[in-house]
Amino acid sequence: MAEPKTKYDRQLRIWGEQGQAALEKASICLLNCGPTGSETLKNLVLGGVGSITIVDGSKVEFGDLGNNFMVDDSSLGQSKAKCVCSFLQELNDAVKAKFIEEYPEALIDTSPSFFSQFTLVVATQLVEESMVKLDRICRQENVMLIFARSYGLTGLVRISVKEHTVIESKPDHFLDDLRLNNPWPELRGFAEAIDLNVQDPVAHKHIPYVVILVKMVDEWKTGHEGTLPSTREEKREFKELLKSRMTAMDEENYKEAIDASFKVFAPQGISSDLQQILNDSCADVGTGSSDFWVMVAALKEFIANEGGGEVPLEGSIPDMTSSTEHYVNLQKIYQAKSEADYLVIEERVRNILKKIGRDPHSIPKATIKSFCKNARKLKVCRYCPIEDEYNNPSLAELQKYSTDEDYSIAVGFYILLRAVDRYAANFNHFPGQFDGGLDEDISRLKTTAVSLLNDLGCTGLTLTEDLINEMCRFGAAELHAVAAVIGGIASQEVIKLITKQFVPMSGTFVFNAIDHKSQLLTLY
């Protein structure tokens, strides 16, 4: 068997050893192992989750051979859960795999405590009534839940957890934490010791742009009553000031300073998103508070005291044109400040833990260090119960989506996916599921959809005839191509939740394979 570091090399580069360890500890339950569920679980098994449990009471039928790669001719008539489990086990023998030959709906009704043993439940192809019941159970047991469903040429994915906190949100674009307009004493001292007017051309073109900007900001402030460039004209003037200090056209360090000058204009202090987290009622910690909120409480104290309105320094600097000596010394200054800030936060965390009656060392140093490094990028995600969304969706959002050309088809599918469940509850089959009677099914689905909209208070929202016809034409089929997309999205969100890295999507992801589009609907 390959060593884990070799086996999972590519993904370790994305979420690191800590993220992989979280995956390997995770216990995943899959409800229904049709193509949507199988594709979701395949991605997680290949990723190295700790254990999987497949719950499905159906047998492999001839139709399954055309849309599920994890069963074959020899599987006909056998337990679908057993066959899929066996196939997935072959993909990664490090994953513990077991199956339960039972219909998920029965398990939800008769054994709700069954779900408490899992880290996360992936519920596929459930109808609305079962979704609501399962959501209640998982919220009560604090088990993360993801719904995934493919239906003809559409499908959806919806996360449901009370609260999900993210330290390593890893945004695509984020300003380097350089404090160019608010340098601490050591950085200022380092910059002041370097002469921008040095006569040696080699030395002049190897002054780091961080030093250039710190010194030029001070010069600008001297002539502008202590204020930073704020208007477009002032920012242009500041760039011209930088340009005027170049002694040769090939001075890359000054070009870097001009390109990075926007970092000087960034406002000091903390973002509105972070302020919202600091103001959250959960930041008033008690015995039952999570590690995340204990660290937020410590961060709040730090910002108000030692931080002087700033979060702990991240401590890394980007590549730049510089002499080796200057770059190494600059790196040491940033790292030393970062370490000092971390030690203050750590002490505050230990004191808070002691104060609320917990072991002062119950939060590892590595976790506190990661928190400090990512303090500007913290995220808190909360998801309303699916029952609340279904009973009382935001009418304003529904109306907005329905009148937006980019979202109208997605919201139409969202409504119709709910309508087909109501239809099935009334007529014991999905519209278009059986040959013949398609016109009657279309008429019934249209009546059901209008009734659903009226119940929600969305009397002004209309669904196109074409969309209703398409839903009936789908006949509740699971197409492998659509299932693969839905399974890919669902497994991606599972990994985000388990590793607590990257930001999980909020709202309901709706895939429209007809137009090759996807949208995220936030209806609560």
E strand residue ranges, 101-200 = 120-124, 144-151, 154-160, 163-166
User: Could you give the percent of the chain with pLDDT greater than 90?
Assistant: 89
For the stretch 469-508, pLDDT in tens is 999 999 999 999 999 999 999 999 999 999 999 999 999 9
Tell me the two tokens of residue 240: 């011209």
Nearest-angstrom CA–CA distance, 150 and 473: 14
Given a cut of 90, whether residue 381 has pLDDT beyond it is: yes
pTM for the model = 0.92
- Between 173 and 302, the more confident residue is 302
Q: What is the DSSP letter of 97?
A: E
The predicted model gives 40-65 an average pLDDT of: 96
Given a cut of 70, whether residue 4 has pLDDT beyond it is: no
Measured CA distances, 253 to 110, 189, 236, 490 (Å): 69, 20, 18, 45
The predicted model gives 302-331 an average pLDDT of: 96
Given a cut of 80, whether residue 355 has pLDDT beyond it is: yes
Q: What angle do CA 458, 146, 378 make, to 5 degrees?
A: 95
The DSSP annotation for 392-414 comes to S--HHHHHHHHHSTTTHHHHHHH
Lowest mean pLDDT among 3-12, 49-58, 244-253, 324-333: 3-12
Lowest mean pLDDT among 229-233, 312-316, 332-336: 229-233
Nearest-angstrom CA–CA distance, 41 and 73: 21
Nearest-angstrom CA–CA distance, 126 and 31: 8
The predicted model gives 347-355 an average pLDDT of: 97
Looking up tokens 């937006």, which residue turns up? 404
Q: What angle do CA 22, 26, 29 make, to 5 degrees?
A: 155
Nearest-angstrom CA–CA distance, 323 and 340: 26
The predicted model gives 196-225 an average pLDDT of: 94
The predicted model gives 350-365 an average pLDDT of: 96
Grade residue 390 by pLDDT with cuts at 50, 70 and 90.
very high
Grade residue 1 by pLDDT with cuts at 50, 70 and 90.
very low
